[in-house]
Amino acid sequence: MGDIAPLVRRPVEALANETYREIGIRSFGKGIFHKPPTTGLEIGSKRVFAIEPGDLLFNIVFAWEGAVAVAADTERGMIGSHRFLTCVVDRQRADAKFLSYWFQRGEGRSALQQASPGGAGRNRTLGVEKLAELAIPLPPVDEQRRIVARIETLAAKVKEARGLRANASAQIEALQSASQARAFAVPRGEKVGDYVRFQTGYAFRSEWFVPCGIRLARNVNVAHGKLEWSDTQYVPDSFRQEFSRFDLKSGDLLVSLDRPVISTGVKVARVREQDLPSLLLQRVARAIFVSDELDPDYFFIWLRSPAFTSAIDPGRSNGVPHISHKDIEAIPFSAPTRKEQRRIVAELDALQTKIDSVKRLQTATSAGIDALMPAILDKAFKGEL
């Protein structure tokens, strides 16, 4: 490496009133990213170096897991900290992209791992001298460029496939949202509280928690459609009788009042037999049906739909998005006949079954797509492309 791509440093003296853009490099060959603009004043005394198009770049902390890339024209004028090595390739002898791909898999990745002594967690620092000493098996430069062109042709097809999959996922989500939006009746002056009231949980004190006993259904346990118990707190078994008003029942519908909507969806759950026994904790609300006109299955689907999420405004309370049970009860809401509710539930359940099936196929397809680039690189450096 020291012969064909020596380390070249271009120190930059950051001026306090000037703006700069730093680069970062993702692991596993996922390329360069640009950090938000920063000023020389913010950079302070940190050592930074200029990046030029064509530089072969290494993140010295994560090079061992493929944090290697080639700077493009989009990186012209940007900077990197001392953690990023800039190697300038002798173009008469080597192709920078060929070297970058070689270091991301197989023999090249192993060489970087050996040149990166172990450290805390994933931090394994690439030695500058060890990098310079690495031996690279190079075919003629024209053959290197042919291999790179072939890799990038196939990589473009992989990117296209990934884009098609993402587009299909977006269409599925749009179909589901549109179907739910059409399914629910336009309110006729009634509100949720005419059909359902909400009970909030008890403020069990943390000093009461014990290693095992009765589980507490907290907002962290309210997932999408069900309770999730990977993070569980318990109170003594005797509390079940003392706090029987908060004892959950199979079929109960729960809404998280803190962060009710997160990036993956609304936090509404239905209690199952395997969730019992458990007690309701504060900041979680249980639906109490006060009208026989509302089917619980219909209301559960409504709670998980855009009709509900678009009607609430969590805002921020002490920095935490929050709604109250009174907010939910005040939402305009009307229920069609029980027969119509059952028809809507059956229709949306059938649609959900199909969507779940498609999502399972997409997950399998995604795994296959993710495996393509490693397979392409393996073949490339075995002389099979």
- Is 33 in contact with 51 (CB distance < 8 Å)? no
Which structure tokens are listed for 113? Answer: 């791992």
Q: Which of 28, 24, 22, 25 is nearest to 40 (CA)?
A: 22
* pLDDT tens readout for residues 57-100: 999 999 999 999 999 999 999 999 999 999 999 999 999 999 99
What is the rounded CA–CA span in Å between residue 370 and residue 6?
32
Beta-strand ranges (E) seen in the chain are: 11-12, 19-20, 23-25, 32-34, 38-39, 48-50, 56-59, 68-70, 79-81, 84-87, 196-200, 214-217, 224-225, 234-235, 253-256, 261-262, 265-266, 268-270, 278-280, 284-289
pTM of the model: 0.60
* pLDDT tens readout for residues 293-303: 999 999 999 99
Phi then psi dihedrals of residue 359, to 5 deg: -65, -35
DSSP 135-178: ------HHHHHHHHHHHHHHHHHHHHHHHHHHHHHHHHHHHHHH
To the nearest 10 degrees (0 to 180), the angle between helices 338-380 and 296-303 is 40
197-225 per-residue burial string, b: 16 or more CB within 10 A, e: under 16: bbebbbebeeeeeeeebbbbbbbbbbbeb
Lowest model confidence (mean pLDDT) among 37-46, 277-286, 354-363: 354-363
What is the rounded CA–CA span in Å between residue 113 and residue 97?
19
Residue 381 pLDDT level (bands cut at 50, 70, 90)? confident
Assess whether the previous peptide bond of 117 is cis (omega < 30° from 0): no
Cβ-based burial of 174 (10 A; exposed 0-12, middle 13-18, buried ≥19): exposed
What is the rounded CA–CA span in Å between residue 151 and residue 144?
11
Rama region for 244: left / alpha / beta (φ>0; ψ in -120 to 50; rest): alpha
Q: Give me the amino acid identity at 296.
A: P
At 324 the three-state DSSP class reads coil
In the DSSP assignment, the letter for residue 230 is S
| Helix (H), strand (E) counts: the chain | 10, 20
- Is 329 in contact with 193 (CB distance < 8 Å)? yes
pLDDT for 344 beyond 80: yes
* pLDDT tens readout for residues 95-145: 999 999 999 988 999 999 999 987 655 678 999 999 999 999 899 999 999
